[in-house]
Structure 1
Amino acid sequence: MSLTLLAAAATADFFHYDALGLSPVALDLGFFQLRWYSLAYIAGILIGWWYLLKLIAQPGAPMTRHHADDMVFYATLGILIGGRLAYVFFYQPEILRNPIDILKLWQGGMSFHGGAIGVMIGILLLARKHGLNWLRVHDYVACCVPFGLFFGRLANFVNGELWGRETDVPWAMIFPDPNAGGVPRHPSQLYEAALEGIVLFAVLAFFFWRTKARYEPGKLVGIFLLGYGLSRFIVEFFREPDVQLGTLSWGLTMGQTLTLPMILGGLYLIGTAKGRRQRVEPIAGRDSVA
């Protein structure tokens, strides 16, 4: 369907975002505003922490409750610092002309890829400080990340941002942002919430609870990297490229380009995990596991 036909059909045949009555602001006290995007980060971190405590209660856990509590602090710093800096460098380097704008997190602009690197560095620092197995700790933390991805993508939808490409599918939606052009688009934020949040969580939960993957260092984080990378790569075909970048000269979006190392790294970690299997002595939990 042509752009003209899409625009003509938009008012009658497709969902209108405005009709949902959503607002980026969850609580407005006049002098203070609490946004859904902020709540998404808080919910992702807190629920991820709760789930991590469930995981480390199992035999052969690589860390104790004390370490898990510290991990929340390291992960939060990694998400905020890594996510913001990566967004600035890869998506909007012009922000560097006025460095103080880097601190304006409330204006939006976070990169998951950068946040993931930040969390990895945080885990490394925690592991070195307490003499933990970095890769095994990472396996457990990776199982908790889909919570944050799910809530973050829902917040993107509530904000009416990061919408998809033009389409005429029955569930297409017309977003009010002037840059969206008033034409039906894929609600790609919901696609990402489903794949990166629900599906990826289910896959990781299966491998953690139903297999011995957690005793093969690197396997779970490898599954996470591969699963997220493939999900993001696929959804980028339905998501509108960042307006300031578009499709890059090699035919991929920036999001797809940044997922390629994740996919390759995930395949490597999965393929080599059995070679790292060892007797696991519990730091928490009840039993040793050979």
Structure 2
Amino acid sequence: MSALIPFPNISPEIFSFELFGLNIALRWYALAYIVGILIAWWLTARALRQVKLWQGDQPPMTTQQLEDLVTWTILGVILGGRLGYVVFYKPAYFLANPLEIPQVWDGGMAFHGGFLGVVFAAWVFALRHNIGKLAMADTVAIGIPWGLMLGRLANFINAELWGRPTDLPWGVAFPGRAAQDCPDIVGICARHPSQLYEAALEGLILGLVLIWLVWQRHGLKAPGLVSGTFFAGYGLARFIVELFRQADEHFITAENPMGYVIHLGGYGLSMGQLLSLPMILFGLILILRSRQLRAP
């Protein structure tokens, strides 16, 4: 199969320089985190200042509290994302190499773990400041999709987390031996740009849906609706994209070439799909409950 779209020659590093013998670099992935946090902060602060968006015209926190919450969520993302990767994807490896667990600079972060870290941080913050849990969840959910979008774009630039082989016109020839190791394919192997699928579904579309809910449908007056839509929307988007995304290498064997963690006859579920199902269910529960809590 010949490559239908060549991979763009974009360096993972925006710039780098030497300082006192150390190489200092700014990578697209790091920039995605920074800009994603700033966008989430701006959107949430804007919503907090518009008091009529909230139930009883009463925002759940002040903009000063939001600044403190940002610090908590950053720690939740980093610690949860790393621990999630360790526990969900490579527990045996890290059990044998525990000193590598803190080495986040070598890569290895899991969204579901990072999200659980944010949930835990927000829950503790809400307890400390006597903030309603559903209002807190809605507040945090408003800006998350935009960080996801930027993170997936950075994954594409890094030529990582690519999809399964495809002969569709938008298949991309990702560089590297692993990406080009496609059984039964002679020549260049084109793959689904699954990072871009995720950027569109988990980021752009979900982000626009949440903005529409908040500013057009007054969704914050029904505690749990915005966060429930995020949970269910992300879970569904990730579940769909997993159909096209290449499974992690350590899940793939000769007997299990699709990398399923659960087999159902000739079909199966990937780790990403397995972790997304509880998010979909929980999101639907929050959406149904929010109808009972909507302000008249």
Q: Same fold (TM over 0.5)?
A: yes
Query: How many Å separate the matches in 1 of 2:239 and 2:129?
Result: 36
The answer as to 2:237 corresponding to 1:231 is yes
Aligned to 1:33, what secondary structure does the other structure show? strand
Query: How many Å separate the matches in 1 of 2:34 and 2:219?
Result: 29
Query: How many Å separate the matches in 2 of 1:127 and 1:172?
Result: 45
Query: How many Å separate the matches in 1 of 2:194 and 2:43?
Result: 27
Deviation at 1:37, TM superposition (A): 1.1
Query: How many Å separate the matches in 2 of 1:234 and 1:62?
Result: 34
Q: Which is richer in helix?
A: 1
Question: Which residue does the alignment assign to 1:22?
Answer: 10
TM-score in terms of structure 1 length: 0.89
Query: How many Å separate the matches in 1 of 2:98 and 2:223?
Result: 39
1:216 to 190, 198, 222: 222
Deviations 1:36-76 (A, max 9, x none): 11111111111111111111111131110111101100110
2:273 to 256, 262, 282: 256
Could you tell me which amino acid in structure 1 is paired with residue 76 of structure 2? G
Query: How many Å separate the matches in 2 of 1:96 and 1:219?
Result: 39
Query: How many Å separate the matches in 2 of 1:90 and 1:179?
Result: 22
Could you tell me which amino acid in structure 1 is paired with residue 169 of structure 2? P
1:43 to 35, 49, 55: 35
Matched residues, number: 267
Aligned to 2:15, what secondary structure does the other structure show? strand
Question: Which residue does the alignment assign to 1:135?
Answer: 134
Deviation at 1:277, TM superposition (A): 3.4
Aligned to 1:233, what secondary structure does the other structure show? helix
Kindly indicate whether the alpha-carbon contact (under 8 Å) linking 1:96 and 1:102 is maintained by their aligned counterparts in 2: no
Could you tell me which amino acid in structure 2 is paired with residue 68 of structure 1? L
Question: Which residue does the alignment assign to 1:109?
Answer: 108
2:200 to 194, 199, 205: 194
Question: Which residue does the alignment assign to 2:143?
Answer: 144
Aligned to 2:215, what secondary structure does the other structure show? helix
Query: How many Å separate the matches in 1 of 2:217 and 2:115?
Result: 25
Question: Which residue does the alignment assign to 2:290?
Answer: 273
Q: Within 5 Å, which residues of 2 pair with 1:106-185?
A: 106-181=105-180, 182-185=188-191
Deviation at 1:29, TM superposition (A): 0.5
In structure 2, the gaps of 5 or more residues are: 52-56, 181-187, 252-258
Which structure ranks higher in relative contact order (CA pairs < 8 Å, sequence separation ≥ 6)?
1
Deviation at 1:89, TM superposition (A): 0.7
% identity of equivalent residues: 47
Deviation at 1:276, TM superposition (A): 2.6
Question: Which residue does the alignment assign to 2:185?
Answer: none
Question: Which residue does the alignment assign to 2:184?
Answer: none
TM-score in terms of structure 2 length: 0.87
In structure 1, the gaps of 5 or more residues are: 1-5, 279-289
